Chains A and B, each alone.
Chain A
Amino acid sequence: MNHVFYLSSAIALLGAALAMACRNAFHALLYVVVSLLAVAGIFFSLGADFAAALEIIVYAGAIIVLFIFVVMMLNLGQRAVNREDDILTPTMWIGPGVLALALFAELVVILIRGAGGSTTGIGVGPKDVSLALFGPFVIGVELASFLLLAGLVGAVYLGSGARSTGGER
């Protein structure tokens, strides 16, 4: 299964990189879906079945679908792609690239120095996760539900734009 892990990792990184470089929003979303599915593959290979399922259902399913809806609502076409070409000059990559590489290099240095060890190879199934979630972490679950509620209210308020009064005009 180690091959699965490394293959999925490569796909995930490639998908993410292509998504970041892509001009067309729709294509980028598809690349991200691929990347997320690859991450789900990683989770599978590590025996985190529950996390892998959530990755597919929530990330690749719900969240990305939300993005797709928005892209459709905005009706971005070739014009938006051309616009992206205008504002995305090659020199812009230098600064962020250097910064991100520096961060990555630092993280790698820390990781190599670290304690290390390898994954156990023992799967952690939904039962264990559920026991942990509703056992010691039940407060976290409650807080998460608050957060979702707040997100819901905020999204509904912001989404009902026609009624707003502040600063629109």
Chain B
Amino acid sequence: MTAEVLLEHGLVVASALFATGLIGVLVRRNLLFQLLAIEIMLNAAGMAFVIAGARWGEADGQVFFIFILVMAAAEVAVGLALLLRLSHRFRGLDGDSVSVMRG
């Protein structure tokens, strides 16, 4: 009752999700959207693990998905806290305005 798809198909989908997230990070100047795009990229990476795990019928893929999940949760907590602070300080969410550390 489980699907038997080609490994390539699953991984292509994960790659496409990753690429979509990458476009989001690069295009959006709004820090909130950038964080969201990063979530999508992380999710795509986790998905690749799960698919690869399913290819071999092993639990390792899901274990690493869980690790990624944990990391994403921690990252989002800190990232959103930073975002709040930045929005107070720079009166907005424009990432390009936060460029005090230019060389």
Across-interface contacts of B92 in A (CB, < 8 A): 83
Contact residues on A (Cβ < 8 Å of other chain), bracket: 35 or more
- Nearest B residue to A74, CB-CB: B87
What's the dominant secondary structure at chain B's contact region? helix
Minimum C-beta distance from A39 to chain B (A): 6
Instruction: State the CA gap A148–B77 with chains docked (Å).
Output: 9
Contact A54 B57 (CB under 8 A): no
Q: In chain B, residues 1-54, which have Cβ atoms closer than 8 Å to a Cβ of chain A? A: 1-13, 15-30, 32-33, 35-37, 39-40, 43, 46-47, 50-51, 53-54
Minimum C-beta distance from B75 to chain A (A): 7
Contact A70 B80 (CB under 8 A): yes
- Nearest B residue to A35, CB-CB: B40
Across-interface contacts of B102 in A (CB, < 8 A): none
Contact A124 B58 (CB under 8 A): yes
Summed over the interface, the residue pairs from A and B with CB atoms below 8 Å come to a total of 264
Contacting residue for A111 out of B12, B58, B87, B89, CB 8 A? B12
Across-interface contacts of A67 in B (CB, < 8 A): 32, 35-36, 76, 80
Across-interface contacts of B23 in A (CB, < 8 A): 20, 93, 96-97, 100
If the complex has contacts A96-B27, A103-B19, A144-B70, are A158 and B43 also in contact, measured as CB distance less than 8 A? Answer: no
- Which residues of B come within 8 Å of A, CB atoms? 1-13, 15-30, 32-33, 35-37, 39-40, 43, 46-47, 50-51, 53-63, 65-67, 69-78, 80-85, 87-89, 92-94
- Which residues of A come within 8 Å of B, CB atoms? 1-2, 4-6, 9, 12-13, 16-17, 19-20, 25, 28-29, 32, 35-36, 39, 42-43, 45-48, 50-51, 54-55, 58-59, 62-63, 66-67, 70-71, 73-74, 76, 80, 83-84, 87-88, 92-93, 95-97, 99-101, 103-104, 107-108, 111-112, 114, 116-124, 128-129, 131-133, 137, 140, 144, 147-148, 150-152, 154-155, 157-159, 161, 164, 168
Can you give 8 A-B contacts (C-beta < 8 A)?
Answer: A39-B47, A83-B92, A100-B22, A104-B18, A124-B57, A133-B66, A140-B67, A159-B81
> Which A-B residue pairs are the 4 nearest by beta carbons?
A151-B74, A96-B26, A158-B81, A20-B24
